[in-house]
Amino acid sequence: GAVVSQHPSWVICKSGTSVKIECRSLDFQATTMFWYRQFPKQSLMLMATSNEGSKATYEQGVEKDKFLINHASLTLSTLTVTSAHPEDSSFYICSAELRSYGYTFGSGTRLTVV
């Protein structure tokens, strides 16, 4: 149980285009979801916290206009990287908070901007 499905698993896009990443909780309702970014051989850095039905809370230094987060339902949160540039290339991972106090993670999305 408590599975988070993240899609796509990898995406290549041209510089200047936008990319949407989806994160779905398959068998539970996720009131709170988190979005992380991970560069090669580095740790996960929290980008933002999204709460269903309200605006996301972004960490310091994360551009909210570039990384649009929507959490319109209890089972879906999306991250849209707008006007992507090569420096946005990274591994993006979503996570959902579980009611029993724990966290489950998606399988990640490898974004490559060319």
Partner 1 sequence: QQQVKQSPQSLIVQKGGISIINCAYENTAFDYFPWYQQFPGKGPALLIAIRPDVSEKKEGRFTISFNKSAKQFSLHIMDSQPGDSATYFCARGGSARQLTFGSGTQLTVLP
35 near partner 1, rule: CB under 8 A: no
89 near partner 1, rule: CB under 8 A: no
CA 77 to each of CA 6, 24, 34, 41, 94: distance values in angstroms, whole numbers, following the listed order: 10, 7, 9, 26, 9
Query: Residue 6 or residue 75: which is nearer to partner 1 going by CB?
Result: 6
Long-range contacts from 50-55, C-beta under 8 angstroms, 24+ separation: 50/77
Considering only residues 63 through 82, tell me which ones interact with partner 1, judged by CB under 8 A.
Answer: none
Give the C-alpha separation, 88 to 44, whole Å: 15
Binding test (CB under 8 A) with partner 1, winner from 6, 25, 50, 78:
6
Q: How far is the CB of 106 from partner 1 (least distance, A)?
A: 5
Binding test (CB under 8 A) with partner 1, winner from 46, 62, 68, 76:
46
Binding test (CB under 8 A) with partner 1, winner from 1, 54, 102, 114:
102
